[in-house]
Structure 1
Amino acid sequence: MPPVRARGARDRLISVARRRFAAEGTITPTLDEIRRQAEVSVGSLYHHFPDKPALAAAVYAQVMAEYQAGFLAMLREQATAEEGIRSGVRHHLDWVAAHRGEAVLLLGDRLDSPDLREANRNFFTAIRDWWRPHHSYGALVAMRPGITAALWLGPAQEYARFWVAGEIGDMDSDVVGMFADAAWKALQANQVEEVS
C-alpha cells in the first residue's frame, strides 16, 4: 500500500473513511477525525465531500463496485448455469465472511450516488448478458430483475444480516449449500442436462 501522501486527497479520504466505517460504523468517526487521519486540509475535504453522508456514499459505491467486480469474475468462470447460480450464493456469503465490516455497510441503508448508479447499471447489464444464453437453451427461467435477485441471493442475504449482527456464530457451510440448492431449484427452467 502506498504511503498516505502518495495518493490524492479524495482517495485518502475514502481509504480512511472505509477503514473507520468498517471498524466503527458510519456514525462514530467524525468528518474532522477522518480528515486529520487522511492528512487532508479542510478546504480539500469540502472540495471533495460537502458532508459525511457524501463521503459515506462514496465509500459505499467503492465497496459495492469491488463486490460486483468479484462476483462477475467468479460468474464468468462457471461453465454451466447451475454452477453459476450455486457459486453466486457461495461467493456472496464467502465475501460477507471475509469482509464483515464492509458487509455491514452494504447490508445497511443504500447510499445512492452517481457512482453507485453507474456501477449497478454495468453490473446488471453483465448479469443479463451472462443469463441470456442460459435462458435461451432452457436452463434458467426468464430474468425478472427484482424477483430473480430475491430468489438467487435473498435468503443468503438475510442469513448474512443475522451473521454480521452476531446472532449466528460461524458461517455454516451446510447452510450455505442449502441456500445454493434453494436458489438453483427456484431459478432453473426445467430439468435440463447441461454440458460443461
Structure 2
Amino acid sequence: MGAGMSVAGGEPERRRAILDAALACFTVKGFSATTVDDIRIRSGASVGSIYHHFGGKERIAAALYIAGIRDYQEGILAVLREHRDARAGITALVGHHLRWIAEHPDLARFLLRRRETEVALASDGELREMNRALFEAIADWLRPHVAAGRVRSLPTDLYSALLIGPSQEFARHWLEGRTKSTIEQAERSLAEAAWAAVSVEGA
C-alpha cells in the first residue's frame, strides 16, 4: 500500500483492511463515485463482512474519519503529556499537526474534504465525545500556564483557532501542491507565530 494510505493502527485486522481499501478508493475515485463493491474488491472482504463491520458506505466513511481523528488526537494528547513548558508544548502541538498531515496525506485530504456534520450523524455521538475530551484536555493543560501569566486567558475555541488555524490553512495548500515551502520549512515559522499569538508579552 502506498505511503500515506494506511489507516492508523488500533483497528482489528479485517476492519483495518476494509478502512484502508475505502481510503484508497476514495482517494482514487472520490467518495461519491466509490461503491461498496469497489471497497469489497480492493479489500478482499466479502460483502457480508463489510456490512457486519460497518453497514453501508456512509458508515464506512464515518469509521474512517473517526479512526483518522482518533490517531491525530492521540498524538495531541501525547504532546500534552510530554511537555510541561508552555512554549515547548505549543511548539510541539504545531509540529505534530504538520507532521501528522505530512505522514498521512491521503487520510488528511479525506478528513479535510468530509463534512464533520455528516460524520457526526453516522457516528452516534462518538465524534462529539472525542472532540469534547480533547478540548477538555487542552484546557486542563493550558490552565496552569494561564494562571502563571505565561499564556493569555482566552476561550478554548480561540486557542484552537490561533494555535492550529494558520497551520491548517498552510496544510490545505500543501496537500493541493500549491506551496513553495515544505512542511519542515513552515513548521518553525508557524510554531513561533502560534506562541506569539497566545503568549503573554515578555513571558
Q: TM-score range by the shorter chain?
A: 0.7 to 0.9
Structure 1 vs Structure 2 CA RMSD: 2.3
Residues 23 and 96 of structure 1, relative CA distance in 2, 3 Å threshold: farther
Contact 1:156/1:179 (<8 A) preserved: yes
Which of 119, 140, 153 is equivalent to 1:142?
Answer: 153
Task: Tell me the residue number matched to 2:97.
Answer: 92
Contact 1:20/1:29 (<8 A) preserved: yes
Contact 2:25/2:38 (<8 A) preserved: no
Q: Higher mean Cα deviation, 134-143 or 48-57?
A: 48-57
Structure 1 residue 28 displacement after superposition? 4.2
> For the residues of structure 1 that align with 2:147 and 2:29, how far apart are their CA atoms?
46
Gaps (5+ residues) in structure 1?
1-6
Which letter maps to 1:129? D
Contact 2:73/2:134 (<8 A) preserved: yes
Structure 1 residue 175 displacement after superposition? 2.5
Q: Percent identity?
A: 39
Task: Tell me the residue number matched to 1:3.
Answer: none
> For the residues of structure 2 that align with 1:93 and 1:165, how far apart are their CA atoms?
14
Which of 110, 118, 143 is equivalent to 1:132?
Answer: 143
Residues 166 and 24 of structure 1, relative CA distance in 2, 3 Å threshold: farther
Contact 2:99/2:183 (<8 A) preserved: no
> For the residues of structure 2 that align with 1:91 and 1:153, how far apart are their CA atoms?
10
Residues 189 and 136 of structure 1, relative CA distance in 2, 3 Å threshold: same
Contact 2:164/2:194 (<8 A) preserved: yes
Structure 1 residue 8 displacement after superposition? 6.8
Task: Tell me the residue number matched to 1:154.
Answer: 165
Q: TM-score, normalised by structure 2?
A: 0.80
> For the residues of structure 2 that align with 1:190 and 1:136, how far apart are their CA atoms?
15
1:74 equivalent in alignment to 2:79: yes
SS of the counterpart of 1:90? Answer: helix
SS of the counterpart of 1:76? Answer: helix
1:52 equivalent in alignment to 2:57: yes
Task: Tell me the residue number matched to 1:4.
Answer: none
Residues 18 and 8 of structure 1, relative CA distance in 2, 3 Å threshold: same
> For the residues of structure 1 that align with 2:183 and 2:94, how far apart are their CA atoms?
13
> For the residues of structure 1 that align with 2:135 and 2:183, how far apart are their CA atoms?
29
The Cα offsets for residues 71-129 of structure 1, whole Å up to 9 and x where unpaired, read as: 21123212311111111111111111111111101222323222212221221121112
Structure 1 residue 188 displacement after superposition? 0.7
Which of 57, 60, 65 is equivalent to 2:70?
Answer: 65
How many aligned residue pairs are there? 187
> For the residues of structure 1 that align with 2:28 and 2:88, how far apart are their CA atoms?
34
Which letter maps to 2:86? A
Residues 152 and 12 of structure 1, relative CA distance in 2, 3 Å threshold: same
> For the residues of structure 1 that align with 2:184 and 2:15, how far apart are their CA atoms?
39
